[in-house]
Structure 1
Amino acid sequence: MSLSLPLPLGFQWSSVTAGIKASGKPDVALAVCEGGAAAAVMFTSNQLVAAPIHVGRRHMKATGGRVTGVLVNAGNANCATGLPGEEACQKSCIAVAEELGCVFDEIFPSSTGIIGVPLPVEKLIAAVPAAKAGLGETAEHATAFATAILTTDTRMKVAQETIELDGKAVSIFGCCKGAGMIGPQLVPHATMLVYLFTDLAACSEHLQAMLNTAVEDSFNCISVDGDTSTNDTVLLLASGKSGVEAALPHVPAFEAALGRVCQSLAHQVIDDGEGVTHLVNLEITSANNDTDAKQIAKTIANSPLCKTAWSSADPNWGRLLAAAGRAGVSFDPMKVTIQIAGLPVFAYGVRAAEYDEAMVHERMSAREYTIAIDLGQGDGKAHFLTCDLTHEYVSINADYST
């Protein structure tokens, strides 16, 4: 996907090669907002978190949600590296702050890659001057940033929106990385890294509220493998350069646009998941409540039995029922109906009378389809995007550290 809409005003991006990635590809990305941007962030809920998560939390608290620069390195997660890892992260932030002329607390760090390997911070720091010199505001610069953050991804993931408010354009640009270790459980206090840039004028608290809503309906409703990363981060920055304030009646339109950007990026993450050959939309309806519906969806989405069946387009609806039944949610199987790709497979306690195994198999051979489960209980519903589990996924992760 290429960038065709206007980029948000006030930001510059760049990337350089520091030699952290074994591939020799660009592995350091820098984003800058001169004068600082208001920020909101959500991090992983994993108890084991990487050094940049610890440092990022401290910096956001120290500045009250003010960010001048975002420094991302790929190829090394800087996780389970102890105090030296945090010190290395802090040193890299100081190096960027000195180049930009701001306080080091206004630098937001991120890392992605292998866990447990010391970060070669000297390489990272040595690359900072070139990253600063290469900053620019064009689509090529934003693309360079979005490309340098990738690890096992096979393609860049970007999304854009531009809306008109009071006769002025407000733009959103989002980019992310993530293909494996994707089962985000992000909390506002999610490997998948997401960076969202806008020129709306808003305070950190308001941005946080809007980000929470956008993330809950997008990144918190996807799974490749159910593994919550140690480094997951979603960061939203607002430069204010559009001159449009985040006030009624502007908020609903902006929230909708932000939601569309997050939905697009979340879909791209699953579509580029490690070894993925099928995308499965789980639509759970008529649950007792939304929480129950989402719990059933997540249980099915992360079931190895379901995911391996999807890899060969096997219409094994019994695995769907079994996964739902162990989700810890109360429902009556005699009230349940299931459709796969629009075709009935189960109804009210037994196989559907119209079930056509060959036809369902054919529909499941498509790249993307929907599994709809109606629980016949109440008004609760959930949408969840997941994928199959293939031999390629096993191969990628069996050899990841070697």
Structure 2
Amino acid sequence: MEREIKQGGALPLGFEWGAVKAGIKASGNPDLAIARASRGAQAAAMFTSNQVVAAPVTVGRKHLGTTGGRVSLVLVNAGNANCATGQAGIDACNQTCIAAAETFGCVFDEVFPSSTGIIGVPFPADKVVAALPELKATMGGTLQNAESFARAIMTTDTRMKVAQATISVGGKEAHLFGAAKGAGMIHPQLGAPVAPHATMLVYLFTDIAADSAQLRELLPPAVERSFNSISIDGDTSTNDTVLLLASGASGLRLDDRSRGAFQGALAEVCEKLAYAIVDDGEGVTHVVTLHITGALSEADAKQVAKAIAHSPLCKTAWSSADPNWGRLMAAAGYSGVKFDPAKVTIRIGNQPVYEGGMRSPAFNEAAAHKVMQQRDYTITLDLRQGTGECRFVTCDLTTEYVKINADYST
């Protein structure tokens, strides 16, 4: 049976997208976006594990439970997170869902809401409701429509983040399109689908025919090695959401024949979007992939990676391309993972910097500094204990990040 994954391709069938200016963003840029599955879609979602969650996370989780994973509309606003807004925030979110259901002719519970922006500011539901008729008029199934959706959900992002893939199985094709936003407050810790618990929002659309249970099975492994393996600043948002929708309009079923190809395409799209989020991080000048190998488990490898990724000393050294490998070892050492420092090796790019419990005899500071001047490079740390490994994408910490976030609400 022929199975193929291709980058790009046509947009998934069965969806329309649109965006308008509702007056929520102070900039006056588009800030209200919608995606519609004309015949409904099966869905799976993963939400932030932060104990403080935004109203749309609470409402969206409830709606998925009520409908058994069926979604007809995705309504997203940028500029206001609708978080820490109390019962008034829940009521406002419900008000916009009711109005959207009436405008687009679907069941109230099949509206999936999302918000991103500043926390603690009353939610302007009236602006969302007033913009819905215009939003309906903007909708379409073209790439331009899909990209307008991707742009409208941006906050401190400097560019839209989209990815596409097509699978071919037995002469039939199914398509994937993903749109994401996020540039700060990025250290997603997404829980299991429909789990009780400046933001990352990710929307994945496919026209493969699948039920919600199948999607709930496939989404977590794709997320774990993509969105759960990135960090910009170590802050887990109150609004983080990944939503996967399947319209079924392609006619290709998700079964034993197509599962491998679809799983591969889903992983590819998620990894591209995850990288794009870090690459567009607030103030980022260097994207650093931490390749941790030789751990006793993948979990141990990721624990070491997170300790390094969240170290201000490591991140500031990366900003000036300073090959201060001692900071890497110090962070790994306090990560909580047990290892023998004398067995560890570290490379910056292809440059050896640490081995045998001390600086490598082959360490060339100038050569390592040159590697770190690149926009994108890899640091490899081998614990030499087992076969567990991970790739964790992170970045430097710059004065521009401080400036953006020092003035974010004022």
TM-score range, shorter chain: over 0.9
Partner of 2:62: 58
1:271-290 Cα deviation digits (max 9, x unpaired): 00000000001001111111
- In structure 2, the residue matched to 1:69 is 73
The answer as to 2:143 corresponding to 1:135 is no
2:171 corresponds in structure 1 to 167
Deviation digits for residues 4-44 of structure 1 (CA, Å, limit 9, x no counterpart): 62000000000000000000000000000012100000000
Q: Alignment partner for residue 38 of structure 2, among 31, 34, 52?
A: 34
Q: Which amino acid aligns with 2:374?
A: A
Residue 16 of structure 2 is aligned to residue 12 of structure 1: yes
Distance between the aligned counterparts of 1:264 and 1:369, measured in 2?
16
Aligned equivalent of 2:272: 264
Q: Deviations over 1:242-270 (max 9, x none)?
A: 00111012100000001000000000000
Q: Which residue of 1 aligns with 2:285?
A: 277
**What do residues 298-319 of structure 1 show as CA deviations (whole Å, max 9, x unaligned)?**
1101111100000000000000
Q: How does 1:45-124 map to 2 (within 5 A)?
A: 45-124=49-128
Indicate which of 204, 215, 220 corresponds to 2:212: 204
Does 1:255 find its partner at 2:263? Answer: yes
Instruction: Provide the C-alpha distance between the structure 2 equivalents of 1:133 and 1:278, rounded to a whole number of angstroms.
Output: 41
Q: Percent identity?
A: 63
- Find out whether 1:299 has 2:303 as its counterpart: no
Q: Which amino acid aligns with 1:342?
A: N
Residue type matched to 1:133 in 2? A
Cα distance per residue 1:124-183 (max 9 Å; x no partner):
110111111211000110010010000000000000001112211100000000000000
What is the alpha-carbon distance in structure 1 between the residues aligned to residue 286 and residue 300 of structure 2?
25
Aligned residues: CA RMSD: 1.0
Structure 1: how far apart are the matches of 2:123 and 2:152? 17
Matching residue of 2:316: 308
Pairs aligned (count): 400
User: In structure 2, how many angstroms separate the alpha carbons of the residues matched to 1:199 and 1:165?
Assistant: 14
Alpha-carbon separation, structure 1, partners of 2:381 and 2:362: 16
1:373 pairs with 2:377: no
| Larger mean Cα displacement after TM superposition, 99-108 or 38-47 | 99-108
Amino acid at match of 1:310: W
Report what 2:3 is aligned to. Answer: none
Indicate whether 1:155 and 2:155 are aligned: no
Equivalent-residue separation in structure 1 for 2:262 and 2:297 (angstroms): 28
With 206-215 and 106-115 compared, the bigger mean Cα shift is at 206-215
Deviation at 1:362, TM superposition (A): 1.0
Partner of 1:390: 398
Match of 1:342 in 2: 350
* Aligned counterparts of 1:203 and 1:396: Cα–Cα separation in 2: 42
What secondary structure is seen at the aligned counterpart in 1 of 2:392?
strand
1:218-248, CA deviations, whole angstroms, 9 ceiling, x for partnerless residues?
0000000010000000000000000011101
Superposed counterparts of 1:226-245, under 5 Å = 226-245=234-253
> Secondary structure of 1:346's match?
strand
Deviation (angstroms), 1:208: 1.0
Shift in Å, 1:199:
0.1
Secondary structure of 1:182's aligned partner: coil
Report the residue type matching 2:206 in the other structure.
T
With structure 2 as the length reference, what TM-score do the two structures score? 0.97
Please say if residues 85 and 122 of structure 2, whose CA atoms lie closer than 8 Å, have aligned partners that are also in contact: yes
Cα distance in 1, alignment partners of residues 322 and 65 from structure 2: 50
Structure 2 CA distance for aligned equivalents of residues 267 and 329 of structure 1:
26
What amino acid is aligned across from residue 29 of structure 1 in structure 2? Answer: A
**Residue 225 of structure 2 corresponds to residue 217 of structure 1:** yes
- TM-score, with normalisation over the residues of structure 1? 0.98
Partner of 2:364: 356
User: Which structure 2 segments of 5+ residues have no match?
Assistant: 1-6
* Unmatched runs of 5 consecutive residues or more in structure 1: none
Distance in structure 1 (CA, Å) of the matches to 2:397 and 2:217: 34
Partner SS state of residue 52, structure 2? coil
Matches of 1:4 and 1:212 in 2, distance apart? Answer: 23
Which letter does structure 2 place at the counterpart of 1:229?
S
Query: What secondary structure, in the 3-state scheme, does the structure 2 residue paired with 1:308 have?
Result: helix
Asked if 1:180 is matched to 2:194, the reply is: no
2:33–2:149 contact (8 Å) kept in structure 1: yes
